[in-house]
Structure 1
Amino acid sequence: MNQNIELRHLRYFLAVAEELNFGRAAERLNITQPSLSRQIQNLEKELGIILFERNPRQIKLTAPGQIFLTEAEQILLRFDQGIRIIKRANRGEIGQLTVGFQGSSVYDIIPISIKVFRERFPEVEIIMQHMTTSEQLIALSENNLDVGFVTPPITDANLELEILLQEPLVLALPENHPLAAHSEISIAALANEPLILASRDRGCGLHEQIFDIYQKAGLYPNVVCAAREMQVMLGFVAAGMGISLLPSHVKNFQRTGVVYRTLNPEAPITGLGIAWKPENIIPVLLAFLEIIRSLA
């Protein structure tokens, strides 16, 4: 487009082309008729083309004017569509969101938040990535993930972490284990018990947290096995290979051969958080975080 032709010129032209009357077009545009006539003359001068045939009784489009009308309509339509799209994107109503989560997690807030978000913003594409917490932290730092459901603690100072839920750890035991006769068990009672631990490469902070719990009790864990998934860990417990300390929501798995007991005097706390990179905040992520906070 010539640098002296603006969108308003196209709107003026479109109004005159549709009304075929300068008076009605001027009234529709809320400008004076002489001003509108001058704007159309300026447009024709810039184009070097006569767009309207004028006579005292009527005006009509010239052949080039007919062609220009089709193009002007498309330009204005695309422009208006573009404005609507960017406004919707700014409200987080359209776009794409990549979300990380741990496959072993059974926190209801994860599927519920995704469901609510999809219902509210059906035109946002959500891509779910099954990752450990450590994998999510790497993906977030490398800008390959918008947001991740992680198990605290995390130590990356470049990421924002918001705690969503907290829960106590419970002791998972083989159902025929002697300690299963007690409803509450102290950490001290676990000395020398074979321990099935969350793998360090599971990256959820639980591995280190359990070592800290044992250390504070003056114990060193007798680790006999490490696994990435809670279902696998519970399978080992059911097989009598050892005990395990896990978040209390693990009881939802209802594994045959496994019983759960409370840790006392004060059960250690673990939880679920959501992490993102502050400089990568986008409207669609803000909308997602708002929904999560309303559900937490």
Structure 2
Amino acid sequence: MDFRQLNYFLGVAEELHFSRAAEKLFIVQPALSRHIQQLEEELGVVLFERDKRNVKLTPAGSYFRDEISRMQLQLRNIIEQTQRIHGGSIGTIRMGHPGSALYSILPEVLSMMYQRFPDVKVQLTEIAEVELIAALSSHEIDVGFTREISTDAQFTTQLLFEEHFALVVPTDYWLNEHTFTGIEQCLESGFILPKIEMDVNYGKLLNNVFEQGGFRPKVVYHSNYGATILRLVEKKLGLSVLPISYRQGSSALGVRFIKLPNLTQLYLIWRSEDTNPVLPHIREIAHEAVGHLSFDQF
């Protein structure tokens, strides 16, 4: 028994006429009759009652038709699902991101993914910059948003956009965009900054902000999570320097953002040899989502 014989059987069961069925199935009638006979012999049952004028299904033939039709539909569904999984329309992607991505590109990426690929499950993990590469290496995540450039060949990075750093101060702080002339005006202030190594890219960029001001910041609190930093600034426990995209989700907080001339970049990063079929969709959508961002608001 093979799929071809089953299709021949269904063709005859639908037409209840061997000549018409043979014509639709593009097979000569004697060959069709021979296939049906072989199928009956293999099953050990009579599927059709036939004489010179009429062809009709036996009770066993009716049952066999219904079950084979159901199985054929199930097989088509299986094939379709298999093709969708292969094409990345169904699947799972584990995404790591720093807090700043939530205030800029991440919501747009997730919205576009859901609209185009609603059957893809995106698992999110907010993760500090210094831990993201390790999470990729250990396969805890599949793709990440990062401000780090990796020179390791096992990873590939894609530049998404660059944005300004901003000095974050409490709402009633004495400095504002009109009176601000340089970060050195905050020489005596305490700062709330990420605890990162200064030999990584983001650390170098952040350190450069203060080097240009001619001083090293007095750090009163360390936190690698932007939302925590914003709350501490709001409580007047110190100032901070963050990517200006944090301003997007901070209107309800008692903080202000003063744009700095210094820039930072956001990249998409993934394992170079990763074969997850969802990954190309993420990369394409992330690139497209940048065009939907309003950098004037940053």
Q: Same fold per TM (> 0.5)? A: yes
Deviation, structure 1 residue 14: 0.8
CA distance in 2, matches of 1:116, 1:178: 39
Of 272, 292, 295, 2:286 maps to 292
Q: Which residue of 2 aligns with 1:184?
A: 181
Q: Which residue of 1 aligns with 2:275?
A: 281
Q: Which residue of 1 aligns with 2:221?
A: 225
AA partner of residue 109 (structure 1): I
AA partner of residue 183 (structure 1): F
CA distance in 2, matches of 1:136, 1:206: 13
Deviation, structure 1 residue 134: 4.0
Return closer, same or farther for 1:157/1:241 CA change in 2, 3 Å cut-off. farther
Q: Which residue of 1 aligns with 2:124?
A: 128
CA distance in 2, matches of 1:127, 1:254: 27
AA partner of residue 273 (structure 2): E
1:57 to 2:53 alignment: yes
AA partner of residue 206 (structure 2): I
Deviation, structure 1 residue 49: 3.6
Q: Which residue of 2 aligns with 1:69?
A: 65
Q: Which residue of 2 aligns with 1:198?
A: 194
Contact 1:160–1:278 (CA under 8 A) maintained in structure 2: yes
Residues 98-109 of structure 1 mapped to structure 2, 5 A cutoff: 98-109=94-105
Deviations 1:146-188 (A, max 9, x none): 32223334465422221212112122345545797733315x6
1:248 to 2:244 alignment: yes
Gaps of 5+ in 1: none
Residues 22-61 of structure 1 mapped to structure 2, 5 A cutoff: 22-61=18-57
Residues 11-30 of structure 1 mapped to structure 2, 5 A cutoff: 11-30=7-26
Aligned residues: 286
Q: Which residue of 1 aligns with 2:295?
A: none
Q: Which residue of 2 aligns with 1:10?
A: 6
Of 133, 137, 141, 1:141 maps to 137
CA distance in 1, matches of 2:118, 2:178: 51
AA partner of residue 100 (structure 1): G
Contact 2:169–2:239 (CA under 8 A) maintained in structure 1: yes
Deviations 1:262-296 (A, max 9, x none): 44xxx322132222223333333322322222121
Q: SS in structure 2 opposite 1:246?
A: strand
Contact 2:104–2:246 (CA under 8 A) maintained in structure 1: no
Deviations 1:189-227 (A, max 9, x none): 6656533211339xx953453235546777544323211
Deviations 1:217-264 (A, max 9, x none): 77544323211332432344455544322112233324766444344x
Deviations 1:105-146 (A, max 9, x none): 443321122112212222333333333334443333333323
CA distance in 1, matches of 2:181, 2:267: 28
TM-score by length of 1: 0.80
AA partner of residue 152 (structure 1): E
CA distance in 1, matches of 2:130, 2:26: 61
Return closer, same or farther for 1:219/1:157 CA change in 2, 3 Å cut-off. farther
Deviations 1:61-92 (A, max 9, x none): 33433333233223212211112212222333
CA distance in 2, matches of 1:295, 1:181: 32
Deviation, structure 1 residue 12: 0.6
Q: Which residue of 1 aligns with 2:92?
A: 96
Gaps of 5+ in 2: 291-298
AA partner of residue 83 (structure 2): K
CA distance in 1, matches of 2:80, 2:254: 58
Q: SS in structure 2 opposite 1:200?
A: coil
Contact 1:100–1:145 (CA under 8 A) maintained in structure 2: yes
TM-score by length of 2: 0.80
Could you say what the CA RMSD is over the residues aligned between the two structures, in angstroms? 3.2
Task: Please say which of residues 236-245 and 219-228 is displaced more in the overlay.
Answer: 236-245
